[in-house]
């Protein structure tokens, strides 16, 4: 599912993540493709397009799901951090 995310919201997410994938911490400059904006809780599970539910993600974490176990742990950590903020 694709959803519109404003340029301003994308910019804020990118800046907050300091250009690193928020799941595996890979810097964008070290990858072959630009990082993407990901819904931490997927829209199909009720996740909203809000700053708290968005994360900067490398293509491996966002599309290929090769790091599923690590990703799930990091998703839980991100949710905890956002709730504490």
The footprint of Zn ion (CB under 5 A) covers 21, 23-24, 26, 58, 61
Task: State the nearest-atom distance from the C-beta of 39 to Zn ion, in Å.
Answer: 15
CB 47 within 8 A of CB 40: yes
Task: State the nearest-atom distance from the C-beta of 13 to Zn ion, in Å.
Answer: 14
Q: Which residues pair with 36 in a beta bridge?
A: 57
Task: State the nearest-atom distance from the C-beta of 31 to Zn ion, in Å.
Answer: 8
Residue 4 or 30: which CB sits closer to Zn ion? 30
Q: Give the alpha-carbon dihedral of 70, 73, 77, 80, to 10 degrees.
A: 160
């Amino acid at each position: 599912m694709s959803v519109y995310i404003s340029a301003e919201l994308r910019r804020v997410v990118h800046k907050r993540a300091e250009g690193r994938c928020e799941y595996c911490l890979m810097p964008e400059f070290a990858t072959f493709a630009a990082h993407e904006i990901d819904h931490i809780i997927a829209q199909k599970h009720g996740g909203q397009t809000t700053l708290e539910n968005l994360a900067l993600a490398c293509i491996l974490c966002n599309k290929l799901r090769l790091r599923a176990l690590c990703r799930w742990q990091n998703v839980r950590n991100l949710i905890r951090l956002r709730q504490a903020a």
